[in-house]
Amino acid sequence: MAVTDTAAPDRETDSDTAARWVSLAGVVFRTVLSVAVTILGLLALTFFIGRLLPLDPVLAILGDDASQEAYDRMYVSLGLDQPLWRQFLTYIVNSLTFDFGTSLTSGRPVTEDILRVFPATLELATVAMILGTGLGIPLGVTAAANRDTWIDQTVRVVSLIGYSAPIFWLGLLGLTVFYAGLGWVGAPGRIDIVYQYDLQPVTGLYLVDSLLAGRWDIFQDVFSRIVLPASILAYGAMAYIARMTRSFMLEQFGQEYITAARAKGATRRQVIWSHAFPNIAVQLVTVVALSYAFLLEGAVLTETVFAWPGFGRYLTTALLRADMNAVLGCTLIVGLIFIALNLASDIFYRVFDPRTR
């Protein structure tokens, strides 16, 4: 009997472990399948957008004065004579290997162009995200903790302005006041032409590369130029994060465990930061991840106003010049960024919130 009693819990433990592994395998399979279907849908969307637009890719390459013979050769070389399903399969294979064709604007592969301009946008969006998160979360918590007071009203008005004001207007206003008027920030552009060829790119992030090279003069120049566009972008991100943080915190303040904590004598600071805030931290991960994705793909107007040589400006130029290879390649990259950040936030959610498991 003693041996039987000892073995029973072991069998139950093994069974529970096996069940957990099966459940985990099911979650991984569903996640992979969902991502695959989403990417396939994104590929189909970009492919058919490229086919439905009233632009002839052959004429875009050769020009309107091309002969019929040259037109036919290019038509065949692009695979446009193939059935639509075969063209779609070719497009999937090329896209999965990040072969988006050649840019009509630069004459280089689109992938090479994207790798060249994306670090500028990544640096700008990362600085903006640090500022937006560092300000948005404390403001949202403060507004919720002081609900219906002048502090709450002020935060809500500031957030409303940041959420609704046109980015290009804020950018032009910022340049007029802080660059032309006060001279507190550097000129539009990413780096002074004096330093452009002195800085050896390592990561493609000029702030990091200048620190690695020990060039504080270059770091100061780059920082003076990035601080204003990053602050403009951060204002919009801060407004969204502050509003969501306030909403999450107000929901937690209405829960019974908060009442119990207060009844047990917990201080106001303990109620806010030790009880309520940890329960919204995981939700904020999703908010921050989506805000970061929007900054990576939504900096088009900011980069245009500040002459920032990044991903958004490259996409704008491609649109204006009907460079469909570049447009579709950038559109696909934007979609993949959203998918990747959504997947990362979902994984983080499952790891750190046991309720989702």
State the first-to-last Cα distance of the chain, in angstroms, to the nearest integer: 36
pLDDT for residue 135? 92
49 shares its domain with 167: no
The arithmetic mean of pLDDT across residues 316-341, rounded, is: 81
Indicate the range of 71-75, 116-120, 122-126, 188-192 predicted with least confidence: 71-75
pTM for the model stands at 0.81
Given a cut of 70, whether residue 313 has pLDDT beyond it is: yes
Residue range 319-329, pLDDT digits in tens: 777 777 888 88
Give the model's confidence band at 272: pLDDT under 50 very low, under 70 low, under 90 confident, else very high. confident
Question: What's the CA gap between 350 and 15, in Å, rounded?
Answer: 22
220 shares its domain with 161: yes
The arithmetic mean of pLDDT across residues 47-64, rounded, is: 69
Please check whether residue 226 is in contact with residue 244, taking contact to mean a CB–CB distance below 8 angstroms. Answer: no
Residues of the domain holding 268:
110-356
253 shares its domain with 318: yes
177 shares its domain with 311: yes
Structure tokens at 251: 């929901």
% pLDDT > 90, the chain: 12
Residue range 5-27, pLDDT digits in tens: 444 444 456 666 777 777 767 76
Residue range 228-264, pLDDT digits in tens: 999 998 998 899 999 999 999 998 888 888 888 888 8
> Could you identify the residue written with the tokens 């037109």?
71
End residue of a domain, out of 96, 122, 151: 96
Give the model's confidence band at 2: pLDDT under 50 very low, under 70 low, under 90 confident, else very high. very low
End residue of a domain, out of 65, 96, 127: 96
Mean pLDDT of the chain: 81
Structure tokens at 298: 């939504």
248 shares its domain with 284: yes
Phi, psi of 264 (to 5 degrees): -80, 0
- For helices 2-52 and 324-352, give the axis angle rounded to 10 degrees: 160
Neighbour-count burial for 241-267, b at 16+ CB within 10 Å, e otherwise:
bbbbbbebbbebbeeeebeebeeeeee
End residue of a domain, out of 96, 123, 156: 96
Given a cut of 70, whether residue 353 has pLDDT beyond it is: no
Please check whether residue 162 is in contact with residue 235, taking contact to mean a CB–CB distance below 8 angstroms. Answer: yes
- Pick the more confident residue, 94 or 129: 129
Question: What's the CA gap between 203 and 58, in Å, rounded?
Answer: 37
